[in-house]
């Protein structure tokens, strides 16, 4: 009698497994995230590529040291986020909203890499004719191997035949394994398909790019375990109705997770943006209450970003607090500090905060600019349009120093700004380099009350 196959339940949020269904996951405490799946039989998982490799234990000292080899695509923004290029044997997962440009970006990267490496592009969502049409539309003339395939066994067999250096799978949710129950994209299918592709990448030193769909919450579809299995996780962000896109790394075993790449979606595909600061600040540079420029660090790159605030009387019993591009909790903290230490009240007022261009600010160095923006809109006082503000606001009202202040100032100088408000501690660090910033007026502040007086009250004199 055939042995009955065991049924397991896996949490789609954290990957926790159990033999029975639970309403609440013990691993992440999320409700209704348990999905049923049947693991693949062990006997059928053996040597799907037809290339056996012997596994043995060795001492670390006996492993030969090799220089880190990276494959450069020539797309600077793409290579930057990957940490300087693609590492052989790595698995990269690229996610994003539908229509954001994931497939276009990887198609362009595959074409660039095909100039020096052997590339296999496996399309699970488009036919070869559709893929050809898209390649012609974005002006791709390079030749590389491609196939329209959705079955895992067929994909692995084609990979074994072609022996590529780079494999692109678009998308991982469209690939399925015939031996498993469940439709393509289900928890069991995504988990098994990704596991086999990761195994193949490590055993045969093939760089694998996976396109992944995201849910309505903005996280990768399928089990959360998917992000733990791969080496690098990238997200392509941006409003699909606007042309700019931001490629952000949230996990990278071979580079920094703080880097971003900026692109514009044009008729010829994804085009790199050489100076992204121009995208995130207003072009008119006119004085207007509530608009303040700050210098944010995204990895090793400084970006000048404009923060806009609107403070207005409310007609509702409870004032509205709406934010876009910045953490709402951080906005509430800065407002509380302004009320406590700067004599500013937001009682009975609606507050709207927006970061221009759709970029999202994560670092606390934007606190001082946010405080200026809120106070400027509330009092109707314009901050000088040639001013940039940087600094972290503490709970006691002090202005704390920020990192890489020289790079932030240099970026402001390049774009023609004349005044830079920064923490006094950072200004003391720059005394030895004061000669470098003769064209820039550097203003140091110690606390929020002093900063408001320097930046806003002096504008009325």
Mark the ranges of the chain whose per-residue pLDDT is less than 70: 1-6, 13-15, 38-54, 67, 215-224, 240-241, 282-286, 457-461
Query: Which structural domain, as residue segments, surrounds residue 238?
Result: 72-274
Q: Has residue 49 been placed in a domain?
A: no
What total of structural domains would you count in the chain? 3
Q: The tokens of 375 are what?
A: 């106070």
Q: Has residue 52 been placed in a domain?
A: no
State pLDDT tens for residues 250-265. 899 998 887 888 898 8
Q: Has residue 411 been placed in a domain?
A: yes
Say which CATH number the domain at 338 has. 3.30.230.10
Q: At what angle do helices 367-379 and 328-341 cross, to 10 degrees?
A: 60
């299918």: which residue's tokens? 189
- Do 305 and 446 reside in the same domain of the chain? yes
State pLDDT tens for residues 90-124. 999 999 888 889 999 999 999 999 999 999 999 99
- Do 171 and 305 reside in the same domain of the chain? no
Q: What is the pLDDT of residue 192?
A: 87
């970061």: which residue's tokens? 355
**Distances in whole angstroms, Cα of residue 38 to Cα of each of 9, 92, 188:** 8, 26, 7
Q: What is the pLDDT of residue 50?
A: 52
Q: How many CB atoms lie within 10 A of CB 404?
A: 14
State pLDDT tens for residues 301-331. 889 999 999 999 998 889 999 999 999 999 9
- Do 123 and 160 reside in the same domain of the chain? yes
Contact between 154 and 167 (Cβ < 8 Å): no
Q: What is the pLDDT of residue 45?
A: 44
Q: Has residue 284 been placed in a domain?
A: no
DSSP designation for 104: H
Cα–Cα distance between 91 and 167 in angstroms, integer?
9
In the beta sheet, which residues pair with residue 95? 212, 235
- Within 8 A by CB and 6+ apart from 299, the residues are 80, 256, 258, 259, 260
Predicted model pTM: 0.76
- Do 104 and 210 reside in the same domain of the chain? yes
């Amino acid at each position: 009698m055939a042995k009955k196959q065991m049924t397991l339940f896996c949490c789609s949020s954290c990957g926790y497994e159990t033999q029975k269904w639970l309403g609440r996951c013990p691993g992440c405490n999320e409700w209704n995230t348990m999905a049923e799946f049947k693991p693949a039989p062990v006997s059928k998982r053996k040597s799907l590529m037809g290339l056996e490799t012997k596994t043995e234990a060795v001492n670390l000292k006996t492993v030969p040291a090799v220089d880190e080899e990276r494959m450069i695509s020539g797309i600077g923004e793409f290579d930057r986020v990957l940490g300087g290029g693609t590492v052989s044997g790595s698995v990269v997962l690229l996610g994003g909203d539908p229509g954001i440009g994931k497939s276009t970006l990887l198609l362009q990267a595959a074409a660039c890499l095909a100039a020096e490496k052997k590339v296999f592009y496996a399309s699970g969502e488009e036919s070869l004719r559709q893929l050809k049409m898209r390649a012609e539309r974005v002006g791709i003339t390079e030749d590389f191997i491609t196939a329209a395939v959705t079955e895992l066994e067929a994909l692995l067999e084609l990979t074994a035949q072609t022996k590529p250096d780079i494999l692109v799978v678009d998308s991982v949710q469209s690939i399925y394994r015939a031996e498993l129950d469940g439709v393509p994209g289900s928890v069991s299918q995504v988990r098994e398909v990704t596991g086999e592709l990761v195994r193949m990448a490590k055993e045969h030193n093939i760089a694998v790019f996976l396109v992944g769909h995201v849910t309505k919450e903005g996280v990768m579809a399928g089990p959360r375990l998917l992000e733990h299995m791969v080496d690098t996780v990238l997200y392509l962000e941006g409003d699909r109705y606007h042309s700019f896109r931001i490629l952000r790394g949230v996990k990278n075993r071979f580079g920094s997770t703080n880097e971003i790449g900026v692109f514009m979606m044009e008729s010829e595909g994804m085009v790199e943006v050489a100076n992204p600061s121009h995208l995130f600040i207003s072009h008119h540079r006119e004085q207007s209450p509530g608009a303040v420029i700050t210098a944010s660090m995204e990895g090793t790159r400084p970006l000048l970003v404009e923060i806009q605030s609107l403070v207005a009387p409310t007609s509702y019993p409870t004032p509205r607090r709406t934010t876009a591009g910045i953490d709402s909790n951080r906005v509430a903290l800065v407002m509380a500090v302004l009320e406590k230490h700067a004599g500013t009240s937001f009682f009975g007022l609606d507050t709207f905060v927006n970061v221009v261009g759709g970029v999202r600010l994560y670092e606390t160095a934007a606190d001082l600019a946010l405080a200026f923006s809120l106070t400027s809109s509330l009092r109707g006082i314009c901050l000088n349009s040639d001013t940039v503000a940087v600094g972290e606001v503490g709970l006691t009202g002090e202005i704390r120093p920020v990192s890489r202040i020289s790079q932030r100032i240099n970026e402001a100088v390049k774009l023609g700004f004349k005044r830079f408000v920064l923490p006094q501690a950072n200004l003391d660090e720059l005394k030895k380099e004061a000669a470098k910033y003769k064209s820039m007026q550097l203003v140091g502040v110690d606390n929020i009350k002093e900063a408001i007086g320097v930046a806003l009250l002096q504008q009325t004199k």
